[in-house]
Chains A and B, each alone.
Chain A
Amino acid sequence: MELVIQQLLLGLTNGMVFALIALGYTMVYGILELINFAHGDLFMLASFLALTLVGLFGLGDASGGTLAVGLVGVIVVCALFAAGLNWVVDRVVYKPLRKAPKLAPLVSAIGVSFVFMNLGLFWGGLPMDEFGGGVAPAAPKSFPELLPNINLLGEDATLRVTPKDLLVIVSSLVVMAALFWFVNRTKLGKAMRATAQNPVAARLMGIDVDKVIGATFLIGGALAGFAAVIYSLYINTINFQMGYQNGLYAFTAAVLGGIGNIRGAVLGGLVIGLLRAFSDQFIGAQWQPAILFGTLILILVFRPTGLLGSTAREKV
């Protein structure tokens, strides 16, 4: 029983991170029908920025209030960085291709993904102490354990719940609640859903569709930046390929949930997280990809639009 709950916790924490990244894929797809392949690598770059900032601020030795303030600062800077970078990429790379065939921005997104990955490689090669100076650029960098690695249930308890688990789950829930509030309750949020559902009608309502697209990239980027910080704090190691791996999980989550659907992305992220945890524990890690993609295929066979895709009457 404890084992099941332990894996549930592991699945949830990982799933939250996948969900946060999946939201960025799904929101952009919803509005542009573009799979932004660079999104995972944006997440990776934000982790490198997080590690750099942790070093610059000397957070490795900080504790208590200083650490808390510092972490909030790192989250804010990384979210702003990823939001801004995502926005710039849209303006410079995707926007000129709005009227081109869909394949053109898609191939460009793959190009941006490679550019980001090589930036990550370059960044990892910088002679910074926090990167373990001298270690090869491609080598994983260790991200300091800033949160106490203790069991909140007591060190003797069989079930292990750490402050890191709580941080990931609680802060993700808060961020997602804020996103849902924004999308469902604010004027700009409603305009985003309207633009995704019918861009021509949105124009006829006086909505500046370009601005709405820009806002979508900003928000998706900010979510990836936030996810990068909490994931790095949780997993304590980063490398230039982590965006590719996690991006693939997140993209799968978005498709599983119904690409373009915001609730679907969250649901998909959690499903992928839980599937991974349980298949690793009870079936074997070597079977994980087979289980994941087998499930994806099964779901798409029976529900081609994904779990909450547009045949369901769910609101976006």
Chain B
Amino acid sequence: MSEPLLSLSAVHTSYGNIEALHGIDLVVYPGEIVCLIGANGAGKTTTLMSISGCVKTRSGTIRFDGKDITQMPSDRIVRLGLAQSPEGRKIFPRLTVLENLEMGAFIRDDKAGIAADIERVIALFPILGERRHQAGGTLSGGEQQMLAVGRAMMSRPKLLLLDEPSLGLAPLIVLKIFEVIKTLNAEGTTILLVEQNARMALRHSHRGYVLETGAITMADKADVLLADPRVQAAYLGEGDH
């Protein structure tokens, strides 16, 4: 296989004296959709925030696109081509929808390209076009989620981290989000996805990791994980097909 686009080796991250990640090993190859599933508090968000440089790792190495980014400040990591749509959306509430998207393209200077990409986001999520001059904070939860995903696309990342993009959304919107993830991936964006909706996530991914209380306990092809009785018992509750 080719060189990984992203690799974490033995990553430890702590909040104060409490260690949240006890040595994570994880790789994502170019062109993949990889999902990371796990219970509440397992450390999924902490993993993504460690990758993006928003929380400092205690030890271990994170490499992206051939460079060691372990101690790199977040803004430089984004410039290397790694964007994130964070947990809880983190929309800029008093910037308009358009301004939110412009901020997503902060690292770029090609005005024409940015305008074209805004149109592309609007084509994927037409409702954002209707709301373009509205303050981000006045959007509904689902609209904010679309805006968060669209905003993260605006830097044209090589790798897109998505933290629970379907949380709290109506089934149709969830489908829409996964459709967009597929489209982006088909266009060449590599994706690392964190999801509560494990079945949906595994169905749309190439590979998956299971995270339990700060450690990876399973890593395999997505269909293998889907068929695994332990995964089924813990993360794929009966009835939610």
Known A206-B107, A316-B94; contact A190-B86, beta-carbon cutoff 8 A? no
CB distance from B179 to the nearest CB of A (A): 24
Beta-carbon contact of A194 and B83 below 8 Å: no
Beta-carbon contact of A191 and B106 below 8 Å: yes
Chain A residues closer than 8 Å to B152, beta-carbon distance: 204
Of all chain A residues, which has the CB nearest B73? A208
Beta-carbon contact of B84 and A204 below 8 Å: yes
Beta-carbon contact of B103 and A191 below 8 Å: yes
B57 CB-CB contact with A under 8 Å: no
Of all chain A residues, which has the CB nearest B136? A197
Contacts across chains A and B counted by CB atoms under 8 Å:
76
Please report which residues of chain B, range 31-86, place their CB below 8 angstroms from some CB of chain A when the two chains form the complex. Answer: 52-54, 73-75, 78-79, 83-84, 86
Assembled-state Cα–Cα distance A316/B102 (Å): 17
A102 CB-CB contact with B under 8 Å: no
A201 CB-CB contact with B under 8 Å: yes
Beta-carbon contact of B86 and A205 below 8 Å: no
Greatest chain B CB density within 10 A among A197, A198, A205, A207 is at A205
Known A200-B54, A313-B138, A315-B135; contact A207-B103, beta-carbon cutoff 8 A? yes
Beta-carbon contact of A204 and B94 below 8 Å: no
Chain B interface residue number, banded = 20 to 34
B151 CB-CB contact with A under 8 Å: yes
Chain B residues closer than 8 Å to A200, beta-carbon distance: 54, 86, 90
CB distance from B89 to the nearest CB of A (A): 9
A98 CB-CB contact with B under 8 Å: no
Beta-carbon contact of A205 and B54 below 8 Å: no
CB distance from B229 to the nearest CB of A (A): 37
Contact for B86 among A197, A201, A209, A315, CB less than 8 A: A201
Chain B residues closer than 8 Å to A316, beta-carbon distance: 94
Chain A residues closer than 8 Å to B91, beta-carbon distance: 198, 201
Known A190-B102, A205-B151; contact A197-B94, beta-carbon cutoff 8 A? yes
Chain B residues closer than 8 Å to A208, beta-carbon distance: 73, 75
Interface bits B144-162 vs A (CB < 8 Å: 1, else 0): 0000000110010000000
- B-side residues, CB < 8 A to A, are 52-54, 73-75, 78-79, 83-84, 86, 90-95, 99, 102-104, 106-107, 135, 137-138, 151-152, 155
21 A-B pairs, CB-CB below 8 angstroms?
A187-B102, A190-B95, A191-B106, A193-B94, A194-B95, A198-B91, A200-B54, A201-B92, A203-B52, A203-B75, A204-B78, A204-B83, A205-B103, A205-B107, A206-B74, A206-B78, A206-B155, A208-B75, A310-B94, A313-B94, A316-B94
